[in-house]
Amino acid sequence: MSQATKGLEGVVAAQSKLGKVDGANGKLWYCGYPIEVLAEKSTFEEVAFLLLKQRLPSSAELEDLKGYIARNRPLTMTEIDILHKIPSDSDTMSVLRTMVSFVGHTDPDAEKEGSDYDYRKALRLIGKITSIITSWERIRNGQEPVSPKATLSTAGNILYMLRGTEPKKEEVKILDIMLILHAEHGLNASTFAARVATATLSDLYSAVTAAVGTLKGRLHGGANARVMEMLIAIGSEENAEAFVSKAFENHEKVMGMGHRVYKVTDPRAEILVGLAKEFIGADNKFLNIAYKVRDATHARKPNLYPNVDFFSGSIYYYMGIPLDLYTALFAQARVSGWAAHSIEQRENNRLIRPLAEYIGELDKPWIPIEDRK
């Protein structure tokens, strides 16, 4: 009898030219470009083009992409009305899942197939998701949504539309880098969900809806918010050692430490810790707690290193972004990767249909209903 691989760990389920994750050496590439180079030299919009087209854009192509996103960023009155009708205590990722599905109804090209159509749908979603996240946050707090500014980037509009005031350039730059770092990461759970949906020849909106629903799960998205909740609960540097000690005694996970793929420090975490020191400063309460937690965890288990979520929460928190928006911002970045994988899947498609090993009983005797207990 064959042995099932739990969680498909180590199973190669697709070939891709999009992202390479080298867990043993802590390396990450998008379409062959090291993540460190993209974080330093690129923008989120340029990275979105890179993933969707598998090459860097010309100046004209990048301006066209920005313009298309900007034109598709505003929500319709119907979309805003739907957000008003959703209960204000709804989970943000559930709201995003609903709205991604709905905006597909307003796209006349939603059912049209081809990489050019999917490219435009992806850009439309990048724009719409910015407005969905920010409008939802304001509506549920009794505020009116803020209209986007065509002159601002995705990162700039996120901050502007949340606050209603022009963001600082350094804030926009930091958030832009964070979007780059979350844009793609190989065949993770949500990306796999998008490829499975695409493999049935469903549309891109269905694929992204499936991906959003998958990202909502606690074992995939949301770890950065839970890291921040952990740091708030610890409260001070002096409590960090005891917290980690108790977590190990109770066989509990220290949020943000360790990764399914990386066996060394997540390269995105290396970038973020530098950004955090530069942006927030060396003497920040929650960053200092994070350093203590990291060191105490690593001392007990040397092969546990910070992942991308360990420091991203502190940066979002410093910007004043509510905790339950963190996973939605993850989706804002990752939609470019989801769409890129969907396009790649469609270009060399085969229905994804793995086997399940049946472990139940066979040939059970039938019991008449009157004799069942």
Domain count, the chain: 2
Domain assignment present for residue 373? The answer is: no
Check if 259 is active-site. Answer: yes
pTM over 0.85: yes
Domain assignment present for residue 102? The answer is: yes
Structure tokens at 262: 């990386």
Q: Please pick, among 107, 176, 266, 309, the residue that the annotation labels catalytic.
A: 309
- Beta strand 33-34 with 19-22: parallel, antiparallel or unpaired? unpaired
Instruction: Give CA separation, 334 vs 55, 175, 234, 254, 278, in Å.
Output: 18, 14, 30, 24, 25
Of the listed ranges 63-67, 97-101, 261-265, 284-288, the one predicted with least confidence:
261-265
174 in the same domain as 49 = yes
Looking at residue 330, its pLDDT comes to 96
Residue 75 burial class via C-beta count within 10 angstroms: exposed 0-12, middle 13-18, buried 19 and up: buried
What is the per-residue pLDDT across 218-242, written as a single tens digit (0 to 9) for each? 888 888 899 999 999 999 999 999 9
Domain assignment present for residue 1? The answer is: no
80 in the same domain as 119 = yes
184 in the same domain as 66 = yes
Domain assignment present for residue 370? The answer is: no
159 in the same domain as 289 = no
206 in the same domain as 77 = yes
Domain that holds residue 338: 15-218+325-347
244 in the same domain as 195 = no
Check if 309 is active-site. Answer: yes
Domain assignment present for residue 262? The answer is: yes
CATH number at residue 73: 1.10.580.10
What is the per-residue pLDDT across 5-21, written as a single tens digit (0 to 9) for each? 777 777 787 889 999 99
Looking at residue 2, its pLDDT comes to 54
Distance CA 70, CA 77 (A): 17
Task: Kindly indicate the confidence band of residue 3, based on its pLDDT and cuts at 50, 70 and 90.
Answer: low
Of the listed ranges 141-155, 163-177, 311-325, 327-341, the one predicted with least confidence:
311-325
Domain assignment present for residue 280? The answer is: yes
338 in the same domain as 304 = no
261 in the same domain as 151 = no
Domain assignment present for residue 259? The answer is: yes
Q: Please pick, among 182, 259, 266, 341, the residue that the annotation labels catalytic.
A: 259
Looking at residue 206, its pLDDT comes to 98
73 in the same domain as 49 = yes
Number of neighbours of residue 357 by Cβ within 10 angstroms: 9
164 in the same domain as 28 = yes
168 in the same domain as 275 = no
Instruction: Give CA separation, 32 vs 29, 255, 263, in Å.
Output: 5, 30, 21
